[in-house]
Amino acid sequence: MSHMLPRLLLGLVAALVPVTAIAQEAAPPAITPAPTPAEAEPTIVPMPSPTPILPELSALDQAFNQTGLGKDADEMRMRVELRKLQNEAANDPAVIAAKAAANAAPTDLEKRDRLREYYELNYGLMSKRASNGAVRNAIEQSKKEHIALLSQPRVRPGSGEAPAATPKKKKHKSGKKF
């Protein structure tokens, strides 16, 4: 029997090998694989033109003028434009006549009224010629400040405003009596 044992084992191994080989075969694929790059349709890539399309020179100038160079540079640009507008408005004949009329007013009340007309004319002309909204806002703010200086609420309240009360001074009593 000891002779038979190796043969039996050898026969058993020989019988099992074909069964395991059949069990390890791959199943047919149920999903079709993605096409390889060689099978895919080629995409057409446009070639870049040798000379790129450039914007007009005026468009470039406008773009560079609008870009902010920093807070200080923007403020300087605003001041320069405001000063240019002030000079143009100051040389206008109607503005010159309004200023002369304000300076020739016989009473303080008439002078304030004529100065109000002068400021309306002067700043209106400047606002009309302003190039952008930020400059117009600065002009409007300056106009409001100048016109506010003309009001005298303690002398003659305007537009229904009540004059501001004057603070009363406290009297200091000394505790010493002689």
Is residue 115 assigned to a domain? yes
Is residue 19 assigned to a domain? no
pLDDT for 8 beyond 70: no
The encoded tokens of residue 101 equal 């009329």
DSSP structure class, residue 25: S
**Contact predicate 119/145, CB 8 Å:** no
Q: How many domains does the chain have?
A: 1
Nearest alpha carbon to residue 131 among 62, 33, 50: 62
Is residue 177 assigned to a domain? no
Q: Could you list the residue range(s) of the whole structural domain that residue 117 is in?
A: 71-150
Please report where in the chains the tokens 């016109």 appear, as a residue.
147
For residues 41 and 5, give the distance between their C-alpha atoms in angstroms, rounded to a whole number.
64
Nearest alpha carbon to residue 114 among 101, 124, 126: 101
Give the range among 36-40, 118-122, 134-138 with minimum mean pLDDT.
36-40
Please report where in the chains the tokens 């700043």 appear, as a residue.
123
- What is the C-alpha radius of gyration for the chain, rounded to an integer number of angstroms? 47
Is residue 166 assigned to a domain? no
Is residue 117 assigned to a domain? yes
**Contact predicate 110/130, CB 8 Å:** no
Q: What is the pLDDT of residue 93?
A: 95
Is residue 27 assigned to a domain? no
DSSP structure class, residue 35: P
Tens-digit pLDDT profile for residues 54-88: 778 777 777 776 656 688 888 898 899 999 999 99
Is residue 31 assigned to a domain? no
Is residue 98 assigned to a domain? yes
Tens-digit pLDDT profile for residues 134-154: 899 999 999 999 999 998 877
For residues 94 and 88, give the distance between their C-alpha atoms in angstroms, rounded to a whole number.
12
What angle is formed at CA 7 by the lines to CA 5 and CA 9, rounded to 5 degrees? 70
Give the range among 5-9, 30-34, 35-39, 43-47 with minimum mean pLDDT.
35-39
